[in-house]
Amino acid sequence: GEDVEQSLFLSVREGDSSVINCTYTDSSSTYLYWYKQEPGAGLQLLTYIFSNMDMKQDQRLTVLLNKKDKHLSLRIADTQTGDSAIYFCAEILNTDKLIFGTGTRLQVFP
Protein backbone atom coordinates (compact mmCIF):
# COMPACT_ATOMS: atom_id res chain seq x y z
CA GLY A 1 0.00 0.00 0.00
CA GLU A 2 1.00 3.60 -0.52
CA ASP A 3 -0.89 5.43 2.21
CA VAL A 4 0.70 8.22 4.20
CA GLU A 5 -1.46 9.60 6.98
CA GLN A 6 -1.25 12.69 9.14
CA SER A 7 -3.57 14.46 11.54
CA LEU A 8 -5.14 17.51 9.89
CA PHE A 9 -4.62 20.23 12.50
CA LEU A 10 -2.25 21.22 15.28
CA SER A 11 -2.42 24.36 17.37
CA VAL A 12 0.43 25.48 19.65
CA ARG A 13 1.45 28.53 21.63
CA GLU A 14 4.41 30.57 20.45
CA GLY A 15 7.60 29.35 22.16
CA ASP A 16 6.31 25.84 22.77
CA SER A 17 7.44 22.77 20.83
CA SER A 18 5.31 21.36 18.03
CA VAL A 19 5.23 17.69 17.15
CA ILE A 20 3.71 16.66 13.83
CA ASN A 21 3.17 12.94 13.31
CA CYS A 22 2.97 10.80 10.20
CA THR A 23 2.42 7.11 9.53
CA TYR A 24 3.25 5.34 6.33
CA THR A 25 2.58 1.85 5.07
CA ASP A 26 5.27 1.02 2.51
CA SER A 27 8.22 -0.61 4.24
CA SER A 28 10.36 -0.27 1.10
CA SER A 29 10.60 3.50 1.52
CA THR A 30 14.21 4.62 1.37
CA TYR A 31 13.87 8.28 2.21
CA LEU A 32 11.19 10.15 4.11
CA TYR A 33 10.70 13.88 3.80
CA TRP A 34 9.07 16.81 5.50
CA TYR A 35 7.82 19.67 3.33
CA LYS A 36 6.39 23.04 4.38
CA GLN A 37 3.73 24.91 2.43
CA GLU A 38 3.05 28.53 3.27
CA PRO A 39 -0.24 30.13 2.16
CA GLY A 40 -0.46 30.59 -1.60
CA ALA A 41 2.92 29.00 -2.23
CA GLY A 42 4.35 25.72 -3.42
CA LEU A 43 6.04 23.15 -1.20
CA GLN A 44 9.48 23.70 0.23
CA LEU A 45 11.66 20.81 1.41
CA LEU A 46 12.45 21.23 5.12
CA THR A 47 14.40 18.10 5.91
CA TYR A 48 14.67 14.40 5.11
CA ILE A 49 15.78 11.21 6.80
CA PHE A 50 17.22 8.04 5.36
CA SER A 51 15.39 4.90 6.38
CA ASN A 52 18.36 3.40 8.22
CA MET A 53 18.49 6.37 10.61
CA ASP A 54 16.24 6.84 13.61
CA MET A 55 16.90 10.49 14.33
CA LYS A 56 18.10 13.59 12.56
CA GLN A 57 18.51 17.07 14.01
CA ASP A 58 18.72 20.24 11.96
CA GLN A 59 18.69 23.45 14.04
CA ARG A 60 15.15 23.72 15.50
CA LEU A 61 13.94 20.63 13.64
CA THR A 62 14.20 17.06 14.93
CA VAL A 63 13.00 14.14 12.85
CA LEU A 64 12.33 10.82 14.54
CA LEU A 65 11.78 7.62 12.59
CA ASN A 66 10.39 4.41 14.05
CA LYS A 67 10.75 2.02 11.16
CA LYS A 68 9.18 -0.90 13.03
CA ASP A 69 5.97 1.07 13.57
CA LYS A 70 6.33 3.02 10.28
CA HIS A 71 5.99 6.24 12.22
CA LEU A 72 7.70 9.53 11.42
CA SER A 73 7.57 12.71 13.44
CA LEU A 74 8.78 16.29 13.07
CA ARG A 75 9.49 18.30 16.20
CA ILE A 76 9.85 22.07 15.91
CA ALA A 77 11.49 23.61 18.97
CA ASP A 78 10.58 27.14 20.08
CA THR A 79 7.75 27.41 17.56
CA GLN A 80 7.30 30.86 16.03
CA THR A 81 4.37 32.48 14.25
CA GLY A 82 6.38 32.19 11.03
CA ASP A 83 6.17 28.42 11.41
CA SER A 84 2.41 28.54 10.78
CA ALA A 85 1.92 26.56 7.58
CA ILE A 86 0.87 23.16 6.28
CA TYR A 87 3.44 20.42 6.81
CA PHE A 88 3.54 17.37 4.56
CA CYS A 89 5.41 14.18 5.14
CA ALA A 90 6.31 12.16 2.06
CA GLU A 91 7.92 8.85 1.27
CA ILE A 92 9.77 7.87 -1.86
CA LEU A 93 9.11 4.47 -3.34
CA ASN A 94 11.28 2.22 -5.46
CA THR A 95 9.58 3.60 -8.55
CA ASP A 96 10.87 7.11 -7.76
CA LYS A 97 7.34 8.18 -6.96
CA LEU A 98 6.97 10.60 -4.10
CA ILE A 99 3.83 9.87 -2.05
CA PHE A 100 2.56 12.70 0.12
CA GLY A 101 0.54 12.65 3.28
CA THR A 102 -2.62 14.66 3.68
CA GLY A 103 -0.82 17.55 5.37
CA THR A 104 -1.03 18.96 8.91
CA ARG A 105 -2.03 22.59 9.33
CA LEU A 106 0.04 24.10 12.12
CA GLN A 107 -1.42 27.20 13.75
CA VAL A 108 0.85 29.13 16.14
CA PHE A 109 -0.85 31.61 18.45
CA PRO A 110 0.80 34.25 20.67
Partner 1 sequence: NAGVTQTPKFQVLKTGQSMTLQCAQDMNHEYMSWYRQDPGMGLRLIHYSVGAGITDQGEVPNGYNVSRSTTEDFPLRLLSAAPSQTSVYFCASNKAGRGTDTQYFGPGTRLTVL
Contact residues toward partner 1 (CB under 8 A) are 4, 6, 8, 30-31, 40-45, 48, 50, 88, 92, 94, 96-103
Q: Which is nearer to partner 1, 41 or 68 (CB)?
A: 41
Q: In what order do the strands lie in the sheet with 61-66?
A: 4-6, 18-24, 71-76, 61-66, 55-58
As to burial, measured by CB atoms within 10 angstroms (0-12 exposed, 13-18 middle, 19+ buried), residue 42 is exposed
Shortest distance, position 19 Cβ to partner 1, whole Å:
19
Shortest distance, position 50 Cβ to partner 1, whole Å:
8
Q: Which is nearer to partner 1, 55 or 110 (CB)?
A: 55
